[in-house]
Structure 1
Amino acid sequence: MPRRMTPSQIRSAIRQAQNKQKQAIDKYNREVRQHNQKVKQAINNYNNEVRRYNARVRANRQKIATELRRLQSSSTVRYQVVQTSAISLNHQYERLDADGASLEGLNYGSEFLDLSERENANSLALSNTLESDADESTIDPSDLLRTEIDGMLQQLSPDLSNRWKGALFSLNPQNPDAARHFFTSAREVFVQILDLNAPDEKVLALTPGCETTSSGQPTRKEKIRYLLSRCGLLTAEAVDFVDEDVKNVLALFRVFNDGTHGSSGKFGLNKLMSIKTRVEDGITYLFSISQHA
């Protein structure tokens, strides 16, 4: 038989049931509030990132338009190879941008397009800066030695980090061969990033019939194709742009290594900073692709 309860016991049992119900409701409401707060925070974070991304895109596109107008209105050209390469890179970027919708929804696609846009803007800006006669600047010379990519280079190889530090050390306004010395070291950084992240044997294993050099090694473009394939962004436009971007930076090495510019190789702070920015961002771009591969 059910246990008989006194009125007092009944009231106590009711109170206990009510308390348990209240605790359950409070717990549920608390969890709902926490969930809603997390959802709100996630939405805020997403919206903030979208705003930052859109701001970067607007800034880069405005920079591209401005620098392209300057480049096209230039009456004299001292660094023809640099300007021609910048125009060629911009053409490849326009092709990549036209096909951007196919990449935006992919993992790393939006970031890749954003960084590609910055590369194009930097290339055009450097060409115009090198052609400019004015080089007044309030830049602190010590800014040339500051870098944000040492950590990423250390991940790959301490030797790459040391090469980059040596490249920055040569960027001295009093050094008549600053640009040439800088690019001699910086060129090796680009080559090593590709070789370390796209070893010949892995590229050949993935694509046995790929294009090779006369010595049987995969070409630079095939290494780039390998990296883009691994990060899921293998399109003709993407491969062509990245390859052209690397060629754009290496073209600077050839220009300043041939010794034909004489005293014009001695640059002020503005030009040296623009050179550094172009190469540093180019290294970041290539490294980013390799790390998503």
Structure 2
Amino acid sequence: MAASFSYCGRFAPTPSGPLHFGSLIAALASYLDARANSGTWLVRIEDVDTPRAVAGADQVILEQLKHHELHWDGEIWYQSARTEVYQQALEQLQHLQLTYRCTCTRKQIKAFGPYYTGTCRHKHIRSPNSAVRFRNDDPILSFNDGWQGHVDIEPNFAGEDFVLFRRDGLFTYQLAVVVDDIEQGVTDIVRGEDLLTATSWQLNLWRYFTDRTPHFKHVPLALDEQGRKLSKQNHAPALSNTDAKEQLQAAMRFLGLTPNSRLNIPQMLTDAVAQWQARSFPEARQQDTI
């Protein structure tokens, strides 16, 4: 018997600092897409890379979302509390003979070019001081995106044996995000287009853990005056909780919506949901079944 999944979206920031305007665009787009489809909108704190996490940044992020009236459903998940789950997922892939250990350093990899060429694939390394890579024998070279339309991925990137577990003992984002999205029942992933190419790797992992496939929308990135992505690394200014309405209006305009400044924030969001429902996307969303 086929099982259907109700819409479930999510916003999953890294707690390396407060949200900035680029973060707001991603949060707003995922929120509107969920509400436009009468779905659930989750918030997950992606702190699997614990050295990047800043103490207290998670609470700052949650307060920023509240001030912008972006209210989530359910409990907040933290990746740092889920290492045992990621270990089980890694062991599942190991059982399927889809992994191998690698001792290559970044310097060694760069010496051979921009992509990892599988140097350790046939070495049968057992040293615990090594990374674990995915044996990427059947790469996904293209997929359909709800915002970008048909997407082709550069074959050398798509076919790279990417890392699942780092030499420093941390699980990678690629593994953690897929495991979490599947376990939380996420059906739709709306995020920035900087993650467009990595979607190929993530879709590859999805098919080894479940029969269903999520829908993706990768929205454009906000850039600074130098043409760089707005990011914490590039010192993008934090969102101001006292200017929430103005910031939401700017984010709505960036996403091609027409905000009504006479409305308060909840009313403005309701109107934005209606506009989102009425717009035409390159790839219409259809309900998946398994």
Mark yes or no: TM-score above 0.5: no
TM range (shorter): under 0.3
- In proportion to residue count, which structure has more helix? 1
TM-score with structure 2 setting the length: 0.26
- In proportion to residue count, which structure has more strand? 2
TM-score with structure 1 setting the length: 0.26
